[in-house]
Structure formats: structure tokens, C-alpha cells
Amino acid sequence: MKTRLLGLAFALMAVCALATTAAACTGIRIKANDGSIVYARTMEFGGDMQSNILVVPRAKQFTGTTADAKSGLHWTTKYGVVGTNGFNMPVIVDGVNEKGLGAGSFYFPGYAKYQTINTTNSNKAICPWEVPLYLLSTCANVAEAVAAAHDIYVGEVPQADIGMLPAYHYILHDAAGNCAVLEYVNGELTVHNDPLGVITNSPTFDWHLTNLGNYVNLTVNNVPPVDLSGTNFVGFGQGTGMLGLPGDFTPPSRFVRAVAFTQASFPVETAQEGVWQAFHLLNQFDIPRGSTRGTQNGKDVTDYTQWTTAADLANHCYYFHTFDNRTVRKVDLNKVNFDAKDITTISMGGKEIVEDLSNQANY
């Protein structure tokens, strides 16, 4: 028994060590009454990700990265892509293409186990951080992207900027409202249909769906008064139907909250209203510096919300704001030049803009 307990303790320590470096991202979907789809997400990380917006043109050639530095999959982009990168790399962490397909990477520590690359499949191999770029640049919808994912191999390649093998799972959305989650577990690709359009981090997606059964009691309606032995008990204020909704920043709790808020929010009429609603909902998942802390290499690490994005998949617009500048900015894919010769970078930098209205008091 003692040996078993020690084994369990070491296993838990290993998971906790992974969790200290884990990003706490949250993704949601909004369906407007006009049929348009908005995919939105937050990006949390413990250090500056050095993200900017990339415009990836059509007919751009890429080669997949493999652990032995030999050539992996060669592909040419079929569709133009707009999205965010990380560490100034020419890859897409999150983005949308000109056909209305959206894709994003979400951290998946303790569970991601990629595929084995060998001489027979290396010509179809890419690395974990190249998955969204490959799918967005070659596929028009979720069905095509899922089929393409089955035709490639994702190998275990350490990422130099974070000093470790990045553990990701991925979400796909398209303009028709289809949504799927791709997870590499035990060396195999698993595809989950995502009817709720929500994603966070570990554990696996099917576990999160099962966990929702613990919260079927939640309701948007206030709980009516209860009479107990002639004494009337009334709930305090608004929101009594949501009592028990988890409020911490762990992935299971954020998943439950994301489902609760997206299902409870009033329907919107248009994609533009959906974009604003998405930003409001994701305010509930904004993590200030210092609220979540861990240790890595003997130093304190604190995840914080570095940027939040919303992709209008119907009208092909990509919106964002950042930790330093909450002003919402956008890139309209209909206006960018996808016939350019190379990737274009648009800065996400800048400080908060404050509008001074004092002069309006001088009347």
C-alpha cells in the first residue's frame, strides 16, 4: 500500500509540474440568428508570447518540421490565412482563412502524445505548432480539415522558445457551424464532434463533456423561495439558479462556465452583435497577472490573458484586443492581398487608448 501511495504521489507531482507551465486558454462559439458563426478565444501564457497578426498568402510554400531536422511534409497554401503567431515565428497559433474555416491551438499538458515519425511517413510529417497553419491554408471547412488531419503525421518536436515539447489539442470551426476537436493521445489522432463549440485545456474533451453532468442543476432562473416548517427562506439577490457554478481558473471549471454562459446568453441577430457578445462573455475568463501562479525552474510563473480574438466566419473578419490595449481592432480578410509574395506582419502592440471627455462638461 505504501508503495502504491508513493507512486500516486509522484504521478501527481509530475502532473502538477506540467500544470505550472500550462496556458489557461478558453474558446467559445456564438451562433447568430442570421446563421453566422463567431469563434472566439483567449490566450493565456506565463511569459510574453511576442504575438502579432500574420497574413499568409496563397501559393506560399512550407515544409513541415521534424525532430531530425530532415524535410517533412511539403505543401503550398491554397487559401489565404489571417491569424496570430507566437515568438515571432511564421506559424499560426489561432486564425481564420478566406473560406471561413477557423482553427486554434490550446494547451493540453499531461495528455498529448503525438505520433511516431519514421522513414516511411516523414514526407507527411509536421510538428505540433504547424497544425493550424497547415489545415487553414489547405482546407475550406471542418470536414476537409478532419480528413486532412488523418492524412498527415504530427511528430514530437521540442519547441526552442519554450524549451520543451508543446502539448496541444486543436479546435476547428467553420461558417456552417460545424465544430471538431483534434487530440493526439497515446500516439493516435482522436476526433471529437463538439456540439457546444467550447474548449479549454486538459483533461481530454470527452472527459469535459462527462463532467457537465455534475452541473445539470444549474439554471438561469432564480430559485423560488422555500418553506421549511413554516419559515420562508429566500435566496440572496440575483443568480441563485447558478449557485455552484465553479469560478476558478482550472480547465474543468472554465469549460463548465463557458458552456453555461454561451448557452444562457440571449440570442443575437447578426455576426457583428455576435462578435461583441463573444468579447463580453470572454471577459469572464480574463486572467490578471498574479491570479494564477506556479513555479518553473525555481521561478514564479503567472499565466495572464495576453490577447483575446473573435473570428467572424461568415464575413471573414478577425478581431482582437490585447492585455495592454483593450481597444478592439480587426483585419478584414476581404481587403488584404492574399496574392502577395510573402507573409505580412501586422503589429498587435500598443498601449491603452483613453478618450478624454472633460471638454464635454464645458457648456
The region of weakest confidence among 3-12, 251-260, 301-310 is: 3-12
| pLDDT for 19 beyond 50 | no
Is 19 within a domain?
A: no
Looking at residue 3, its pLDDT comes to: 37
pLDDT class of 363 with cuts at 50, 70, 90: low
Q: For 204, which DSSP code?
A: -
Residue 107, in any domain of the structure: yes
Give tens-digit pLDDT for 335-361.
999 999 999 999 999 999 999 999 998
CB 38 within 8 A of CB 274: yes
Tell me, what's the pLDDT at 161?
76
Task: Confirm if 349 and 50 have CB atoms less than 8 A apart.
Answer: no
Average pLDDT value for the chain: 92
Confidence of residue 151 (pLDDT cuts 50, 70, 90): very high
137-151, 152-166, 202-216, 251-265: the lowest-pLDDT one: 152-166
C-alpha grid cell for residue 185? 493521445
Lowest mean pLDDT among 91-95, 186-190, 287-291, 299-303: 299-303
Residue 15 located in a structural domain = no
Assign 84 to helix, strand or coil.
strand
152 confidence band (pLDDT: 50, 70, 90): very high
Structural domain that includes position 124: 24-349
Q: Is 220 helix (H, G, I), strand (E, B) or coil?
A: coil
359 part of a folded domain:
no
Question: Which range, 76-80, 240-244, 287-291, 353-357, is most confident?
Answer: 76-80
pTM beyond cutoff 0.85: yes
User: How many structural domains compose the chain?
Assistant: 1
Residue 155 domain-assigned (yes or no): yes
Lowest mean pLDDT among 162-171, 173-182, 306-315: 162-171
Contact 25, 61 (CB under 8 A): no
Neighbours of 329 (CB within 10 A): 14
Question: Cα–Cα distance between 337 and 52 in angstroms, integer?
Answer: 17
Residue 164 is predicted with a pLDDT of: 85
pLDDT for 10 beyond 60? no
Confidence at 302, pLDDT banded by 50, 70, 90? confident
In a domain, residue 2? The reply is no
Compute CA distances 284 → 155, 253, 281, 329, whole Å. 35, 12, 6, 20
CATH number for position 246: 3.60.60.10
Structural domain contains residue 224 = yes
Domain-located, residue 12:
no
- The answer to whether 279 and 321 are in contact (CB under 8 A) is yes
pLDDT digits (tens, 9 = 90+) for 217-230: 999 999 999 999 99
Q: How large is the average pLDDT for residues 80-103?
A: 97
